[in-house]
Amino acid sequence: MIKRTVEISQKPVHIAVRNGQIILKPRADDDANPVSIPAEDIGMLLLDHPATTLSQQALSKLAESGASVVVCGRDHLPAAIMLPVSHNTEVAKRLRLQISPAINLRKRLWKQIVVAKILQQAKNLQPASPAERRLRNLATEVKSGDPSNSEAQAAKVYWKTLWGPFANKLETPFRRDPDGAWPNSFLNYGYMVMRAAVARALVSAGLHPTLGIHHVNQSNAFCLADDFVEPFRPLVDRTVCKLVDAGHRELTQPAKATLLELLTFHMTYGDQSGPLMVSLHAMAASYVACLEGKEKLLTIPVPKMSSVT
């Protein structure tokens, strides 16, 4: 079942529960009718209006239904994520597996993630161009654990080349900076939406998003989510380029809606296909199988070409 992403940004509402339904109630001075959504249909609730309120019962019902709740700050970027913790009965067992995975497994899986990311970055560049060929060559050179940091080498070529066709749209040459202004704000929003969806899939699989494969920052509660989100960052990049090319300069509701649609991109994974949000659960289940010694490689979803052209 495809879960819905519900964004609250245009008007303030009070979120409550009635008969198992999530109710979005307009303010008293708003003549709009309440909106009712089955709790089990919601995969992510994104709160981006400062006057939004919600009941504890609503939060509890969303958690019981396996939904994640993302709270945005004044800059409209996600500031906090609430994830359900009681949706899987094997959390303790899988936590023990996550605590001390074999070093060879961690290195092998990180290599696979880096290769997948670089290949997706290459698809965002002009086919057969020097930069595209360089990234494809780098993808073949990645060793277990990526000791030569091919990921960073690829990023240096990728970011310099990606924004070339849009130079006339930018006031200054693009530099990737998480704290930078437009169009970095677009990238940050898209990455955080993707990160929240990945974290939700991990928790649903009984995994803890803090215990990463490669990312090990002690102050980061989402190290594993940050590992798993890497192959999907190029999807965000491509979408942001399209927004910039279309003249979007502010993180407006239409721009955010376009980035939220990333979660419905049609992906292939193994011999299956489906929306990205659904495919993330297959990736999380594959990681569990790797931890249990049943599989050696991750199932990493890749976009169907028709979804990203």
Compute the CA torsion angle 194, 195, 198, 199 (nearest 10 deg).
-150
Tokens representing 51 are 């006057």
Residue 1 has pLDDT above 60, yes or no: no
Distance CA 136, CA 111 (A): 14
Selected from 3.20.20.140, 3.100.10.20, 3.40.190.10, 3.20.20.70, the CATH number assigned to the domain covering 4-82 reads 3.100.10.20
pLDDT, mean of residues 91-104 = 83
pLDDT value at residue 306? 45
pLDDT value at residue 96? 85
Lowest mean pLDDT among 21-30, 152-161, 180-189: 21-30
Residue 305 has pLDDT above 90, yes or no: no
Residue 223 or 304, more confident: 223
pLDDT, mean of residues 156-179 = 87
pLDDT value at residue 178? 85
pTM over 0.85: no
Identity of the highest mean pLDDT range in 23-37, 89-103, 157-171, 267-281: 267-281
Average model confidence (pLDDT) for the chain? 89
pLDDT value at residue 194? 93
Residue 15 has pLDDT above 90, yes or no: yes
pLDDT value at residue 307? 39
Q: Are 135 and 158 in contact (CB under 8 A)?
A: yes
pLDDT value at residue 309? 39
Tens of pLDDT, residue by residue over 180-228, are 888 999 999 999 899 989 988 898 888 888 889 998 876 777 899 999 9
pLDDT value at residue 247? 92
Categorize the per-residue pLDDT at 98 as very low, low, confident or very high, splitting at 50, 70 and 90: confident
202 φ/ψ sector (left φ>0, alpha ψ -120 to 50, else beta): alpha
Tens of pLDDT, residue by residue over 276-303, are 988 999 999 999 999 999 999 999 999 9
From 256, 235, 232, 241, select the one nearest 183 (Cα to Cα).
241
CATH 3.100.10.20 in the chain: give the residue spans: 4-82
Paired residues of 16 in beta bridges: 23
pLDDT, mean of residues 242-271 = 92
Phi and psi, residue 190, nearest 5°? -60, -45
Q: What is the CATH topology of the domain spanning 91-308?
A: Four Helix Bundle (Hemerythrin (Met), subunit A) (1.20.120)
From 196, 260, 192, select the one nearest 7 (Cα to Cα).
260
Distance CA 49, CA 44 (A): 15
Residue 91 has pLDDT above 80, yes or no: no
Please tell me whether residue 142 adopts helix, strand or coil conformation.
coil
pLDDT value at residue 33? 87
CATH 1.20.120.920 in the chain: give the residue spans: 91-308
Residue 82 has pLDDT above 50, yes or no: yes
pLDDT value at residue 291? 93
